[in-house]
Structure 1
Amino acid sequence: MDSREDIQLMGTQNFTRCESALHSEVEALQWAMENMLQHSPCQSFGTDCKELIAMLKEPQKWPSFATELEKIETLQICFPDFKITYVPRVRNQFSDFLAKTVRIFRRELLFIGCSIPVWLPRPPQA
C-alpha cells in the first residue's frame, strides 16, 4: 500500500503445510520481501500477526525460528527503510480473503499483480 493506504501491489502463494501458523506467517513475510525486491520499491509491510512483529524486534527470544529470522534479517538489509506494522484483521479483509481462497487450490498457485486476476474468486463486497 502507499502512504494513503491504496493498494499498489498484491500477491499470494499457497505454501505446503508449515509446522504452525506462525511458521506460515514467517514464510509468507520472507516470500513477500523477496518478491518486492523484484517487483516494487516497497519498503513497508503489514501483518495481522503481532507475534511476527515481536519476533522481528527480538529474534533472540525465538530460538526455534533462528534460521528463518536470519533469512529475514538478511533481506531487511536490501530495504533501507524497512518497516512492518500491525494491521488488524478487520482492516485487512482483502488480504485475508486472498489467503483463504488460495488454500482451496490443489495445485501450486503464485500470483503477484495490481488487481485480482479473473480466474480468482472475488471477495464479498463490504
Structure 2
Amino acid sequence: MVWDERSTDRMMGAMSIRRSISPLHAECEALIWAMECMKTLHISEVVFATDCSQLVKMVSTPTEWPAFTTHMEEFLRCKEYFPTFTIQHIPRAQNTMADKLARGARTQPSAMVYVDSVPPRWFSAQEFT
C-alpha cells in the first residue's frame, strides 16, 4: 500500500504474475513494482508500507544483502525518483487490507495487475474502510 503524504489518498495494488525465488524476493519485487507504479503516476511524495520487517531492514542497508544485489541495484535506481524515501513496517495482524489483496490476487484465474484507490470488486468494501 502507498499513500500520498500531501493528501489522504491511498493507493493499493496487487500483482499475480510469476513466482519468486523466495518470499523475501517477492517482497522486494513488490516494492520495486510499487515504486515504478508511483513513478508512472508522477507521485513522488509517498510512504510505502509493508508487513515484511526484513524488507525494511534490507532497503535501509542494501549493501549488506549480497544475495539481492540485482534487486537492490534496481531499488536504488527507483529510489532516486523519490525526494524522501519512506517505508513503514505494519505488522501483518494490523495489515488485513494488504493481506486480503494478496490472497485475492492469488485466487484470480490468470495473471493480473491491479493499482487503484478504489478496491476491486472481489475486495469487500466493508474491509476497505
**TM-score, normalization by structure 2:** 0.85
How many Å apart are 1:43 and its aligned residue? 2.1
Q: CA RMSD in A?
A: 2.2
Alignment partner, residue 82 of structure 1? 85
Name the structure 2 match of 1:116. 119
Q: Distance in 1 between matches of 2:13 and 2:97?
A: 11
**Structure 1 gap ranges (5+):** none
- Aligned partner of residue 10 in structure 2, secondary structure: coil
> How is 1:86-105 mapped onto 2 (pairs within 5 angstroms)?
86-105=89-108
For 1:37, the equivalent position in structure 2 comes to: 39
Counterpart residue number, 1:27: 29
List gaps (5 residues or longer) in structure 2. none
1:106 deviation in Å? 2.6
Q: Is the 8 A contact 2:59 2:72 kept in 1?
A: yes
Structure with greater strand percent: 2
How many angstroms does 1:15 deviate by?
2.9
For residue 57 of structure 1, what is the amino acid of its counterpart?
S
Matched letter for residue 26 of structure 2: S
Q: What amino acid maps onto 1:88 in structure 2?
A: P
Query: Shift of the alpha carbon at 1:12?
Result: 0.8
Q: Distance in 2 between matches of 1:3 and 1:72?
A: 21
Asked if the contact 1:97/1:123 (under 8 Å) is kept, the reply is: no
Letter of the 2:110 counterpart = R
Aligned to 1:50: 53
Aligned length: 125
Deviations 1:89-124 (A, max 9, x none): 122110111011111123111111111122x24277
Q: Percent identity?
A: 33
Question: Which amino acid letter does the alignment assign opposite residue 23 of structure 2?
Answer: A
